[in-house]
Amino acid sequence: MLVARQLNAQNQTLEGYTGGFITPTAYVVYSAKGQFFSHPAVSYHFLNADKVIGDIHTFGIAEGFANRAEVAYARSVHLTGDSASFSSLWKFPGMNVFSAKAVLVKDGQGHPLMPGLAAGVIVRTHDKFVSGALYQEIAGLQGIAVPAKSYTNEDVYVALTKTWLKPPVPLLINFGWKATNASILGIGGQSTRFSGRLFGGLGIPLPLPHGFGMVPSAGFTQEPPQVKYLGDILVGGSAHIPTTLDYAIRVTQKEHPHVTFDIGVGQVAGNIGAAPTGLPLPYPQTVPVDLQARHVVGLGLGFRY
């Protein structure tokens, strides 16, 4: 019905490397038979979270090597949100995302039931979101004028992926583990420490007319429990950062795919805690810190030359 490695080869995540909408898979950019280098794959993703976090436009490019490895770069361009209270935590133009991945075992290698296994690393630079902004604001309250702090954060991950195209139900299953110090792919700031988090997803490959196929899917990625400096402004000293979820549909060509279209809804973060107002009684003593990102719309376009 669909060709597994070709179906996933050029499809890229919100951060520019190959995978689902927000999670990496054990596939890399497809290289034609007998070729070491792939044709480059480029992508554009849009995430609409303008109520507080702001809109995010991501432009990515990835290059594969002999269907065994890939490197990728993405530039995340950010437009500040509309909240007078909290959008200042995301008042920055964006960040850079570098990534590399190696396939250790190919899907189906040695046995039809064998899943693909890949390991990779993701590095985000010039990330000033949340933690960098709070560093500046807390220093300002102490009478110290400093610029927003720029962070570098990383993910190191392993992923298992299996595409099964036989009756009774075709499935695309992905599951992995990562060590990360980034909250919400760096959009949520810098975690207080490296921690192990799980991620995964499930898709159902289905045929469409005119040589196309689609994959309705759902994915998740656990988030680090705490964000640097965020607890300093919240009652109780800690934030509630929920697991990030996405529900998406991917449409692409079934054979030798060159074009991919993604559309989905993400559940990111809503009310993460309460902050003191600093007002005397009888005025409210706290105000909810609501990121209003429990239902955000995402779009993606990918093209492999």
Tokens of 275: 């902050």
* Whether pTM exceeds 0.85: yes
Domains of the chain: 4-304 (2.40.160.40)
What's the rounded Cα separation, in Å, for the pair 29 and 160?
A: 16
Task: Going residue by residue through the chain, which has 305 residues, state the pLDDT in tens, using 9 for 90 and above.
Answer: 334 444 554 589 999 999 999 999 999 999 988 999 999 999 999 999 999 999 999 999 999 999 999 999 999 999 999 999 899 999 999 999 999 999 999 999 999 999 999 999 999 999 999 999 999 999 998 999 999 999 999 999 999 999 988 888 899 999 999 999 999 999 999 999 999 999 999 999 998 998 888 999 999 999 999 999 999 999 988 899 999 999 999 998 877 678 899 999 999 999 999 988 887 788 778 889 999 999 999 999 999 88
Residue 48 near residue 128 (C-beta atoms within 8 A): no
Cβ neighbours of residue 198 closer than 8 Å, sequence gap 6 or more: 175, 176, 177, 220, 221, 222
What's the rounded Cα separation, in Å, for the pair 203 and 249?
A: 9
SS3 category, 231: helix
Residue 222 near residue 177 (C-beta atoms within 8 A): no
